[in-house]
Amino acid sequence: MLHPQSQTINILPPSLPPSPSPLPVCIAHFPSSVLELSEDEIKDWISPPDLIIGKTVIISSRKFFVYDCDQFTRYYYKEKLNMEQPQSISVERPPPQPVKPPLPPYNGFGSLEDSKQSCFSLIPQPPKKDFIKMLENDGKILRYSATLNSSNPIDENRRFILSFWLSDDSISIYEPPQRNSGIRGGQFLERTRVSKPNSTAEEPIYYAPKDFRIGETIEAFKHQFVITGADQLVLKYMKERPDEFPDEVVASFESSSDEKELQP
């Protein structure tokens, strides 16, 4: 606030909370220009022409930007000084963007969803599930036969059954036992959602039924499985959804599908 008669200035915040005690107010003269120390008396104080909207004044070594004034001040400048105050300038800053903490690399323990929840709060919450999808696809399982893509000669004759659960897009892998193979077989991977190798922990991309095709490679925790066939339930599922599965994909499964349902 500038007092024209005395050319003194006092500075207060624009809004203050209620206080039972009076606030100290400093009213003083301030020079319009900052010079070196001198014994000469300063007579050039900050005056109304220095406080024009858009200008910056230096008061006590601090810069103050004039961005608005009240209606009385505009009237005073127009009637007394024959000066027009410009339009007010917006000085509101946009709200800061929320800081998204980076997620640590997946350590392989538990599911990816459970590991992510432990990074968001001290008390992890269970990941949200699509209950409608779970109810509509309860008990619906797509099973595929696959081989292990490995350079180890021992893995050449190993066979696997990949089960895809439509209720939550989870995958389980089972290895049927083979006589005189030296491998006992059994559960290779418990039921869990498997993300694609090119996805990240922040935005995981999980395998879907459209990714399972003859000759395609499904990578599950650094193990690569090549799809070789499927049971009749998979064929029925694909034929009911021609928009997702082209005719050539269905034909490739028909030529290599098993007549009997694959059982883990």
- pLDDT, residue 60, reads 77
Average pLDDT over residues 57-65: 83
What amino acid occupies position 79?
Answer: E
The answer on pLDDT for 160 being more than 90 is yes
Structural tokens at position 179: 């006589």
pLDDT (tens digit per residue) in 69-118: 889 989 988 998 898 989 999 888 888 888 877 777 777 676 777 777 77
Domains along the chain with CATH numbers: 1-13+24-92 (2.30.29.170), 130-256 (2.30.29.170)
- pLDDT, residue 243, reads 87
- pLDDT, residue 8, reads 74
Average pLDDT over residues 160-184: 89
The answer on pLDDT for 210 being more than 80 is yes
**Which range in 37-46, 53-62, 186-195 is most confidently predicted, on average pLDDT?**
186-195
Gap between the Cα atoms of 13 and 183, Å rounded = 79
Q: Which has the minimum average pLDDT: 109-113, 149-153, 210-214?
A: 109-113
CA 111, distance to chain mean position in Å, is 19
Q: From residue 212, give the alpha-carbon distance in Å to each of 33, 52, 92, 172, 227.
A: 77, 70, 53, 14, 7
The answer on pLDDT for 183 being more than 90 is no
Average pLDDT over residues 130-139: 86
pLDDT (tens digit per residue) in 189-206: 999 889 898 887 777 889
Arithmetic mean of pLDDT over the chain: 81
**Which range in 7-16, 59-68, 84-93 is most confidently predicted, on average pLDDT?**
84-93
pTM score of the predicted model: 0.58
Average pLDDT over residues 203-231: 90
Gap between the Cα atoms of 108 and 22, Å rounded = 62
> Which H or E run contains 112?
helix 112-120
The answer on pLDDT for 224 being more than 90 is yes
- pLDDT, residue 91, reads 86
- Asked if 60 contacts 11 with a C-beta cutoff of 8 angstroms, the reply is no
Average pLDDT over residues 151-160: 88
Phi/psi for 130 (5° steps) reads -90, 95
Q: How would residue 18 be classed by pLDDT, with cut points 50, 70 and 90?
A: low
- Asked if 56 contacts 62 with a C-beta cutoff of 8 angstroms, the reply is no
Q: How would residue 38 be classed by pLDDT, with cut points 50, 70 and 90?
A: low
